Structure 1
Amino acid sequence: MSLHPPAPARVVLLCGPSGSGKSLVAALSGLPVLRLDDFYKEGDDPTLPLVEGSSDIDWDHPQSWDAEVALAAIGELCAVGRTTVPVYDIARSARAGEETLEIERTPVFIAEGIFAAEIVERCRELGLLADALCLTRGPLTTFRRRFVRDLKEGRKSVPFLLRRGWRLMRAERSIVSRQTSLGAHACDRDEALGRLAAAAAGRRAPARAAV
């Protein structure tokens, strides 16, 4: 029996516009998943940003999210394989409790959310990063998926969802551009699953085919 402790785990950061399919890809990978949406600030937090020219809270702005707490949870998962995470109720814009997430001895896990790219460089500097991916599906497809999902889950009012959906559809290309500039690799679902499998097996991510 080996006396050496298991190697620390590493994280794949999975970002992309809201509705791009991050949760589906994470589920299909079979890897443990940390939901970064659970690290949103609560609705009464005075530091929450507003949409310019509106009274709507801008839940798509990085300042609506607690990056430091999320990064601490990732660090703890990498180091000891478990951490306590908040459970966030998006419909109420409030934390509904907390739970323990365990990844056991899995060498790689996924942290997915629209703000994952914001911590790519920090995770790389700390030696925690296995890969960083940005899912893209095209603005119209993403708009449809996002609206149907948010409506089904009752996340916000219909007028709010329509305003947000229209705004994000127009901004999608700039969102992807920002996330790739922060170090995430833009890809579709199949390429993402291939890179996740490579990370889980301890291999380098496959190179993108030349066009």
Structure 2
Amino acid sequence: MEPVHRVVLLAGPSGSGKSRLARESGLPVLNLDHFYRDGDDPDMPRHPELSIVDWDDPRAWDAGRAVDTLTELCRTGSARIPVYDIAHDRATGSEPFTVGAAPVFIAEGLFAAEIVRDCRAHGILADAIVLHRKPWKNFLRRLARDLAERRKPPLTLLRRGLALLRAERAVVRRQRELGARPADAAEVRRALRAAAETPSGMP
């Protein structure tokens, strides 16, 4: 079945503002964080310094399920997606997601670049972007968000945030190597607007 819709993959470090920019576009938005594996999965990677599950390792994320869901959405316009509770480290159910009449929708998340190649091979990729901003700004934005949402104990969030700050340039470099093109916030807004205005969803 040929795709009816196409997807814009929006990657970037945690706290870089991906979710906000996606919402501002007015396009349907799928949060790829819902495709994390359950925290008690014995194959989950562990952080060597923090002694917790390494949620920033791509192996903590179910790329195959994400690609299958995106392909179904592009071909049929709807699919059921998992609902992941970060505080409890597991999916707690599922819910319907519908693209509607939009030619494209956005799938945003830390690991979005991991599936660029597969989405391109399935013929569903409209664009792949990695949002880059100053690492120290992302650190402050991420810490404020995680504390407000009580995602983990405060000390864990601070230690994790500092580790992410040190690793951020390498994260962005990897996402570029996987096929996501770098863009700042203004460039992301323009790209999403252009994709929404193109009937096929292709740039």
Instruction: State which of 176, 180, 187 in structure 2 corresponds to 1:184.
Output: 180
Whether 1:18 and 2:14 are equivalent positions in the alignment is yes
The equivalent residue for 2:192 is 196
Whether 1:165 and 2:161 are equivalent positions in the alignment is yes
Task: Could you tell me which runs of 5 or more consecutive residues in structure 1 were left unpaired when the two chains were aligned.
Answer: 1-5, 206-211
**Are the counterparts in 1 of residues 36 and 84 from structure 2 also a CA contact under 8 Å?**
yes
Deviation at 1:199? 1.1
Q: How many residues align?
A: 201
Using structure 2 for the length normalisation, give the TM-score: 0.95
**Are the counterparts in 2 of residues 41 and 64 from structure 1 also a CA contact under 8 Å?**
yes
Which runs of 4 or more aligned residues in structure 1 lie more than 2 Å from their structure 2 counterparts after TM superposition? none
Once residues 159 and 44 of structure 2 are traced to their aligned partners in structure 1, the CA distance between those partners, rounded to angstroms, is 18
Deviation at 1:7? 6.2
**Are the counterparts in 1 of residues 87 and 150 from structure 2 also a CA contact under 8 Å?**
yes
Once residues 16 and 49 of structure 2 are traced to their aligned partners in structure 1, the CA distance between those partners, rounded to angstroms, is 26
Deviation at 1:200? 1.4
Distance change >3 Å, CA 7–CA 60, structure 1 → 2 = closer
Which amino acid in the other structure matches residue 107 of structure 1? P
- Residue 122 of structure 1 aligns to a residue whose secondary structure is helix
Instruction: State which of 91, 95, 99 in structure 2 corresponds to 1:99.
Output: 95
Identical-residue share of aligned pairs (%)? 52
- Residue 87 of structure 2 aligns to a residue whose secondary structure is coil
The CA RMSD measured in Å over matched residues stands at: 1.5
Which amino acid in the other structure matches residue 57 of structure 2? H
Deviation at 1:54? 4.1
Once residues 52 and 134 of structure 2 are traced to their aligned partners in structure 1, the CA distance between those partners, rounded to angstroms, is 25
Trace 1:74-113 onto structure 2 (pairs within 5 A): 74-113=70-109
Whether 1:151 and 2:138 are equivalent positions in the alignment is no
Cα deviation, 1:21-56, whole Å, max 9, x if unaligned, reads: 000000000000111000011111111001124421
Task: Could you tell me which runs of 5 or more consecutive residues in structure 2 were left unpaired when the two chains were aligned.
Answer: none
**Are the counterparts in 2 of residues 7 and 107 from structure 1 also a CA contact under 8 Å?**
no
Once residues 119 and 26 of structure 2 are traced to their aligned partners in structure 1, the CA distance between those partners, rounded to angstroms, is 22
Instruction: State which of 94, 111, 122 in structure 2 corresponds to 1:126.
Output: 122
Which amino acid in the other structure matches residue 130 of structure 1? A
Whether 1:115 and 2:79 are equivalent positions in the alignment is no
Whether 1:55 and 2:59 are equivalent positions in the alignment is no
Once residues 164 and 49 of structure 2 are traced to their aligned partners in structure 1, the CA distance between those partners, rounded to angstroms, is 16
